[in-house]
């Protein structure tokens, strides 16, 4: 036998040497849910282990992530009032804007802050844009997305993440930011976002389920891969700095394909349903939680992601530090 694969798996040292996928806590982004009020951290029923925090409670959470080695955050807001124009998303006193300012004040540039730019948490109907009857008016929505991005930039965002799957959203946001001289604020575009059942726990958590219909007129059809490449290409042409593929696990092939077809960094979003399935199965004793979290994280990077948004970011960072992965 000339070739014996087991030689490269003989002991931990050679296995470490032979690793093809290297992961660092520096590649991780943790999602933070913020809500109005004071003194509250409300555990999310659909996402065991995660909570919604009021602005004054963010400090300790950010601190605990920093201690684990995670210093990048993507912020999601839960407004007090929802309306047709999603005004909390772009108001100066909007929840994300308040949270950005507070975190920046407390942690300066020790942390990297990304704002989710979408309207579904903020609109009374729960759709990701401005309505025209029962249809989402794409071009009218673009104006608002620009406004949201500028409000977040004014509050100190390093980067904005448009997640509404409106056509032309990256170009509209780039133009709005540049007009206000926010040349350094980047765009991490949810370029390839599928209409997915895996967002269920998130929608419960932030109360953003659409009040009628679904998101299939703007989010992608799970059967399509070539379309994902077109979406990626389009966002690249519009000036995106990073492309997100979402969800992650049922779409690892998409991550690989996008990676092979762009020179931009690719980010995977390991979404709420993927998180909660692990938590639920682990709570039942069906799986070993740590091992499965490790495997999921590694698979996203192995598929081609260069960075990962994960609710398990702290656990992944801990696994890296412990030498189990990375």
The residue (of 57 and 203) whose beta carbon lies closer to ligand PBG is 203
Cα–Cα distance between 246 and 309 in angstroms, integer? Answer: 10
The residue (of 19 and 43) whose beta carbon lies closer to ligand PBG is 43
Per the CB < 8 A criterion, the answer to whether 54 and 37 are in contact is yes
The closest of 37, 31, 61, 56 to 199, measured between CA atoms, is: 31
65-73, 92-100, 112-120, 313-321 -> range binding ligand PBG (CB under 6 A):
112-120
152-160, 195-203, 256-264, 277-285 -> range binding ligand PBG (CB under 6 A):
195-203
128 counts as binding ligand PBG under rule CB under 6 A: yes
Q: Which two tokens stand for residue 18?
A: 């032979």
Find the binder of ligand PBG among 30, 194, 199, 301 (CB under 6 A). Answer: 199
238 counts as binding ligand PBG under rule CB under 6 A: no
Find the binder of ligand PBG among 68, 100, 114, 118 (CB under 6 A). Answer: 118
Minimal distance, residue 223 CB to ligand PBG, in Å: 18
The residue (of 53 and 326) whose beta carbon lies closer to ligand PBG is 53
271 counts as binding ligand PBG under rule CB under 6 A: yes
Could you give the residue ranges of the DSSP H alpha helices within the chain?
12-17, 58-68, 87-90, 95-107, 138-154, 169-179, 200-206, 226-238, 252-260, 272-283, 289-303, 313-321
What residues contact residue 166 under an 8 Å CB cut-off, 6+ apart? 128, 129, 136, 138, 141, 142, 145, 218
267 counts as binding ligand PBG under rule CB under 6 A: no
Cα–Cα distance between 316 and 324 in angstroms, integer? Answer: 9
Cα–Cα distance between 161 and 171 in angstroms, integer? Answer: 13
Minimal distance, residue 2 CB to ligand PBG, in Å: 48
Minimal distance, residue 118 CB to ligand PBG, in Å: 4
Choosing from 246, 259, 284, 289, which is the catalytic residue? 246
137-145, 180-188, 196-204, 292-300 -> range binding ligand PBG (CB under 6 A):
196-204
Find the binder of ligand PBG among 44, 53, 100, 116 (CB under 6 A). Answer: 116
202 counts as binding ligand PBG under rule CB under 6 A: yes
Query: If you ran DSSP here, which 8-state letter would residue 83 be given?
Result: B
Q: DSSP states of 102-139 as a string?
A: HHHHHHGGGSEEEEEE-STTTBTT--SSEEETTEEEHH
Q: Which residues bind ligand PBG (CB under 6 A)?
A: 116, 118, 120, 128, 163-164, 199, 202-203, 271-272
Instruction: Report the catalytic residues.
Output: 193, 246
């Amino acid at each position: 036998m000339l070739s014996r694969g087991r030689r490269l798996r003989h002991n931990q040292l050679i296995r470490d040497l032979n690793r093809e996928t290297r992961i660092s806590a520096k590649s991780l982004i943790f999602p933070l849910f913020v809500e109005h009020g004071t003194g509250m951290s409300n555990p999310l029923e659909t996402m065991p282990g995660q909570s919604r925090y009021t602005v004054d409670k963010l400090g300790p959470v950010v601190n605990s992530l920093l201690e684990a080695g995670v210093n990048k955050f993507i912020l999601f807001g839960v407004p007090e009032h929802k309306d047709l124009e999603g005004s909390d998303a772009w108001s100066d006193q909007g929840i994300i804007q308040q949270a950005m300012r507070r975190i920046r004040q407390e942690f300066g540039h020790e942390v990297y802050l990304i704002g989710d730019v979408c309207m579904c948490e903020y609109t009374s109907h729960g759709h990701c844009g401005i309505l025209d009857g029962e249809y989402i008016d794409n071009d009218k929505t673009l104006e608002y997305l620009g406004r949201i991005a500028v409000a977040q930039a004014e509050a100190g965002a390093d980067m904005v993440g448009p997640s509404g799957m409106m056509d032309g959203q990256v170009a509209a946001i780039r133009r709005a930011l540049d007009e206000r001289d926010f040349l350094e604020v980047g765009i991490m575009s949810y370029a390839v976002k599928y209409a997915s059942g895996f967002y269920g726990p998130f929608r419960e958590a932030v109360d953003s389920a659409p009040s009628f219909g679904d998101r299939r007129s703007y989010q992608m059809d799970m059967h399509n891969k070539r379309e994902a490449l077109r979406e990626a290409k389009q966002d690249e042409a519009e000036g995106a700095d990073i492309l997100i593929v979402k969800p992650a696990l049922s779409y690892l092939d998409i991550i690989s394909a996008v990676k092979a077809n762009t020179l931009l960094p690719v980010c995977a979003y390991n979404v709420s349903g993927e998180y909660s399935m692990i938590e639920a199965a682990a709570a039942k004793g069906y799986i070993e939680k740590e091992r499965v979290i490790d495997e999921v994280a590694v698979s996203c990077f192995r598929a081609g992601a260069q960075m990962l948004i994960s609710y398990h970011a702290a656990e992944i960072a801990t696994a890296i530090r412990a030498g189990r992965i990375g």
